[in-house]
A and B are shown apart, each in its own frame.
Chain A
């Protein structure tokens, strides 16, 4: 079998090429645009599967580097690489991407900017695949920024809606803050190691010779240089992956179309931060067994996991619940990376990508079926109307909760198991367990709100005499301006439900590739051969832990049933049972701990004050200097003008005038009559004759 390494670049290049072609198409070429995008990602999927097959046979890291740019006497090299991590991520991204592309045909069917949507989507897919195959931090950073750009474009896809435009801006700026750290870390790494290639036959920055040089020196606070650079890189990852305190953009990003939320803000792009840490894991883990960089990752992840889960409990927007859930799960992945290493974190990333994409696409199907309604208080009873979506959504929900034997159970359990064995602190374990409880609770709450009981939509069933939106200050109705006026809920078309069913199958069974009895996934990533034995379950502490985490899940589900399932929710404006029991806590959670308000009160006000200061400087100081210079120039110009107009011009003009007058008079002689000329000639002749005669006489 010929090696795929030299052709690996085709995987990201095909979708980018498709995006370029679609960008040139007219708005009405909808079918062509969708075909191009879907066939390009399908081709990438096939290539990714080839690459995957090759890593199965040869799991070693394979690279392809080439010099790109010369400055001074140095060459900056770029390159791509293939290792198990890349291969598995490639397959995941192209597969989930393909399903979501297909789903988008149905979801965006009524949108007039269908072609633009697929252009951005294909560009995103290409850039994301570029992130995955990069063998150079610089190339990765370039693709990373394109990914950020497409995220911005797609969040603001319905840019006419001011909230979408603001959310796009917020997402872009917040992630830029993190990317600044990544950029500084990258420059520092280059200054220290002289290369940005990850692997280069022993000379790359993630290889032992470079790492040992980085760990021997320490910088401020006793950090080794490798840890300091790793923390800076983690800043970029935290921005992209919505880690506290940079998580604020992710819930707002739900203003984008739901397939975008599924693909970018749940399955792939937000996981890019986790991937970046897994890619640079040798740098994070260089030197000691527990480095400060990994501790930072772990604690940030733990805080984020808890925070996201807490806030998700008290949200009403179906997509915002899922967004906070994503934040929480990304925190989980960070815990997994920080404590258990890449295999644990990436396993959860992969399972999460499938079940969260499923949940988002399911939510999209619900929103589509309910004519754009996103508020779970105005849903209800949808299980009857949309059975396929209901079944798929429940599978995704159970996988997310970590219900035993579902995929999320195995991956979450691996993280909890690693956290339990962590020698530094038990806190991440307890935080993780509590977040798991909350996850089961808020997903049960959402499920009862959406599917149980009867429909509470005021526009469809006029059960209330007045519009409850005025009383409750609900969010405006429509997410999507092209959705039509409300009609009875209906099941989505097959183009949307079939991806749901496929994803649901993966959400249920994918975990089986990484169970303790047969840890194929972990072995694949670590390059060891897997062994199948049930003896692994007898490892001390493992079985009790699994029982505990199952109990926690059941506890969460039971709590959810107790509060929301026992008594059906009757109307859209009946208060949340949790809100009646603990109104102040609930309010705090609904407002997401007022973090947005805190940022608005501190950072944004500081920013506004600084901008006012620069406006003032601009208006008075710089403007004054500019005004002074311009006044001087104007004065000089006046003097110049006087000299020119008053002296030079007058002299010259009078000369011109006299020449012109003379010409005017002389022109009178030129009559054009030949006889006049002849008369003058004759007179001259006569005068000449008289003169001659006169001379002869004298």
Chain B
């Protein structure tokens, strides 16, 4: 079993855990953490495919990953700001009670 497969398995596991967290948790902050986990699984894939790919000297994987981390940081900041605004409005972070999309 090559090490690429191990990385991919790890990243798939990480993605599944993140997805499960994002889909099942009621607390918005935990959902955000789940989304971060899924992003990191994708980062891990980038790194793994770059490291075990045909051109490991081109540094493309690292480039993608750095961009993704930067975007994820921005996304986390925006996400937290939205959650804060939603909390102020609804006095809760429970997603089940935020059903105004229905209306």
Q: A678-B22, A678-B23, A682-B19 are in contact. Are A670 and B95 (CB under 8 A)?
A: no
Report the Cα distance A674→B101, complex, angstroms.
Answer: 8
Interface residues of B in 71-103 (CB under 8 A from A): 95-96, 98-103
With both chains docked as a complex, state the minimum distance between the C-beta of A183 and any C-beta of chain B, in angstroms.
77
Is the C-beta of A673 less than 8 angstroms from some C-beta in chain B?
Answer: yes
Q: B98 touching A673 by the CB < 8 A rule?
A: yes
B97 (CB) vs chain A CBs: closest residue = A673
Chain A residues with Cβ below 8 Å from B99 are 671-673
Residues from chain A with a CB closer than 8 A to the CB of B31 are 675
- The chain A residue sitting closest to B25, CB to CB, is A675
**What are the residues of chain B within 8 A of A671 when measuring CB–CB?**
99, 102
Nearest CB in chain A to that of B26: its residue: A675
Chain B residues contacting A675 (CB-CB under 8 Å) are 22-24, 31, 95-96
Cβ of A661 under 8 Å from chain B: no
Cβ of B100: which chain A residues have Cβ within 8 Å of it? 672
A673 B95 Cβ-Cβ under 8 A: yes
Kindly report which residue of chain B lies nearest to residue A679, judged by CB atoms: B23
B22 cross-chain contacts in A, Cβ below 8 A: 675, 678
Which residues of chain A are within 8 angstroms of B103 by Cβ–Cβ distance? Answer: 672
Residue of A nearest to B20 (CB): A682
Nearest CB in chain B to that of A680: its residue: B23
Q: How far is the CB of A609 from chain B (nearest CB, A)?
A: 78
Bound together, the chains give a CA A678 to CA B103 distance in angstroms of: 18
Q: Which of B19, B23, B101 touches A672 (beta carbons < 8 Å)? A: B101
Which residues of B sit under 8 angstroms from A682, Cβ to Cβ? 19, 23
Question: Given the complex, which residues of A lie within 8 Å of B95, measured CB to CB?
Answer: 673-675
Question: Using a CB-CB cutoff of 8 Å, which residues 37-88 of chain B contact chain A?
Answer: none
Q: How far is the CB of A667 from chain B (nearest CB, A)?
A: 9
Compute how far the CA of A670 lies from the CA of B102 in the bound complex, rounded to whole angstroms.
6
A59 CB to closest chain B CB (Å) equals 98
* A637-682 interface (Cβ within 8 A of B): 670-675, 678-679, 682
Secondary structure of the A contact surface, majority rule: helix
**In the complex, A678 Cα to B100 Cα: how many Å?**
16
Give, as a whole number of angstroms, the nearest-CB distance from A684 to chain B.
Answer: 13
* Distance of A679 Cα from B96 Cα, bound (Å): 13
How distant is the Cα of A674 from the Cα of B32 in the complex, in angstroms?
13
Complex Cα gap A673–B100 (Å): 8
Nearest CB in chain A: distance from B55 CB, A = 26
CB contacts (< 8 Å) of B96 on chain A: these are 673, 675
Chain B residue with minimal CB distance to A677? B101
Which B residues are in CB contact (< 8 Å) with A673? 95-96, 98-99, 101
Please report the C-alpha to C-alpha distance between residue A674 and residue B26 in the assembled complex, in whole angstroms.
11
Closest to A667 in B: B102
Q: Which residues of A contact B19 (CB under 8 A)?
A: 682
**List of B residues within 8 angstroms of A672 by Cβ:** 98-103
Report chain A residues within 8 Å CB of B101.
672-674
Task: For B23, list chain A residues within 8 Å (CB).
Answer: 675, 678-679, 682
Residues on B with beta carbons closer than 8 Å to the beta carbon of A678? 22-23
CB distance from B94 to the nearest CB of A (A): 10
Alpha-carbon distance A383/B57, docked complex (angstroms)? 147
A671 to B101, CA, bound (A): 8
Q: How far is the CB of B87 from chain A (nearest CB, A)?
A: 15
How far is it, in angstroms, between the C-alpha of A675 and the C-alpha of B96 when the chains are bound? 8
Q: Within the complex, what minimum Cβ distance (angstroms) separates A664 from chain B?
A: 14
Complex Cα distance, B24 from A404, in Å, reads 132
Residue numbers in A under 8 Å from B98 (CB-CB): 672-674
Residues of A within 8 A of B24 (CB): 675
Measured CA separation A673–B24 after assembly (Å): 12
Q: A672 CA to B99 CA in the complex, in Å? A: 4
Q: Nearest Cβ distance between residue B12 and chain A, in whole angstroms?
A: 11
CB distance from B98 to the nearest CB of A (A): 7
Would you give the shortest CB distance from B25 to chain A, in whole angstroms? Answer: 8
Q: How far is the CA of A672 from the CA of B22 in the complex (A)?
A: 16
Closest to B31 in A: A675
B101 shortest CB reach to chain A, Å: 4
Chain A 193-230 residues near chain B, CB threshold 8 A: none
Within the complex, what minimum Cβ distance (angstroms) separates A380 from chain B? 97
Per-position 1/0 for A512-535, Cβ under 8 A of B: 000000000000000000000000
Docked complex Cα distance between A372 and B24 (Å):
104
Q: Measured between C-beta atoms, what is the minimum distance from B32 to chain A in Å?
A: 12
Closest-CB distance, A204 to chain B (whole angstroms): 88
CB distance from A405 to the nearest CB of B (A): 108
Q: Closest residue to B101 on the A side, CB-wise?
A: A672
Interface-centre pick from A675, A678, A682 (highest chain B CB count, 10 A): A675
Most buried by B among A673, A678, A679, A682: A673
CA of A682 to CA of B19, assembled, Å: 9
Q: How far is the CA of A303 from the CA of B23 in the complex (A)?
A: 119
Report the Cα distance A276→B62, complex, angstroms.
123
The minimal Cβ–Cβ distance linking B71 to chain A, given in whole angstroms, is: 20
Other than the known A671-B102, A673-B96, A674-B95, what 12 A-B pairs have Cβ atoms closer than 8 Å? A671-B99, A672-B100, A672-B101, A672-B103, A673-B99, A674-B101, A675-B22, A675-B95, A678-B22, A679-B23, A682-B19, A682-B23
21 CB < 8 A contacts A-B: A670-B102, A671-B102, A672-B98, A672-B99, A672-B100, A672-B101, A672-B103, A673-B95, A673-B96, A673-B101, A674-B95, A674-B98, A674-B101, A675-B22, A675-B23, A675-B24, A675-B31, A675-B95, A675-B96, A678-B22, A679-B23
Binding site for A on B (CB under 8 A): 19, 22-24, 31, 95-96, 98-103
Q: Closest 8 interchain pairs by CB?
A: A672-B102, A672-B99, A672-B101, A679-B23, A673-B99, A670-B102, A678-B23, A675-B95
Interfacial residues, chain A to chain B (CB-CB below 8 A): 670-675, 678-679, 682
